[in-house]
Chain A
Amino acid sequence: LAKTTQPISMDSYEGQEVNITCSHNNIATNDYITWYQQFPSQGPRFIIQGYKTKVTNEVASLFIPADRKSSTLSLPRVSLSDTAVYYCLVGDEGKDTGRRALTFGSGTRLQVQP
């Protein structure tokens, strides 16, 4: 069962770069690492996914070291609207069937100040 560990909360100011690190020591060989963003009263929204090295899209970058036991979500130049909870996920295997599904940890609450 792959589990993830993230900081409970982080504070930042507008215009700064924010890096959120997630630990996943038991990640399986075929697991991808996926990050989601959740605003209050909404369902989570997919941000980025990667397997190794670096992935970048229009929203964020994801850095994954060679051992893949951790990953870092990087948000460049955050704004007030980036205030949200960020979740790091890796796949879990179903106990009886082996079918895999994503399970969430508690996430990191990011507060961006003006």
Chain B
Amino acid sequence: NAGVTQTPKFQVLKTGQSMTLQCAQDMNHNSMYWYRQDPGMGLRLIYYSASEGTTDKGEVPNGYNVSRLNKREFSLRLESAAPSQTSVYFCASSEATGDAPLHFGNGTRLTVT
């Protein structure tokens, strides 16, 4: 039982390049989330998906797109990376949105030069 799996673990991009961060969960959870965490800061919600087929913006959605591919998978895409998007990205899942406890992956460390 792997929980929440994120790939890749590390990535370096040049400004303007694009990439997709992958996330998969094996807990049959309905809801999935993408957060970013900048050094010394708390986590900020980028997008979330309450259930398969729905996605909603969080606090900081600009510059990102998401796809809820199926119940297990929720990907985050950077179409044109910027240095301000250098951060650690965490994917999480929960049984439902609202107050259900979140289960996190171990993060993707992204550097944009």
Closest chain A residue to B98, Cβ basis: A100
Chain B residues numbered 17-48 whose CB sits less than 8 Å from any CB in chain A: 31, 33, 35, 41-45, 48
- A13 at interface by CB-CB < 8 Å: no
Return B18 CB to nearest CB of chain A, in Å.
24
Return B100 CB to nearest CB of chain A, in Å.
9
A106 to B43, CA, bound (A): 7
Q: Size range of the interface on A?
A: 20 to 34
A99 to B48, CA, bound (A): 10
Residue of B4, B31, B102 contacting most chain A CB atoms (<10 Å):
B102
B interface residues, Cβ below 8 angstroms from A: 4, 31, 33, 35, 41-45, 48, 50, 54, 56-59, 90, 92, 97-99, 101-107
A49 adjacent to B101 (CB under 8 Å): yes
A interface residues, Cβ below 8 angstroms from B: 31-32, 34, 36, 41-46, 49, 87, 91, 94-97, 99-107
Residues in B with CB closer than 8 Å to A87 are: 42-43
Closest chain A residue to B58, Cβ basis: A101
Return A36 CB to nearest CB of chain B, in Å.
7
Residue in B50, B59, B103 whose beta carbon sits within 8 Å of that of A103 in the complex: B59
Residues in B with CB closer than 8 Å to A97 are: 50, 56
Residues in B with CB closer than 8 Å to A45 are: 104
B35 adjacent to A104 (CB under 8 Å): yes
Closest chain A residue to B47, Cβ basis: A101
Residues in A with CB closer than 8 Å to B4 are: 43
Residues in B with CB closer than 8 Å to A107 are: 42
A36 to B102, CA, bound (A): 9
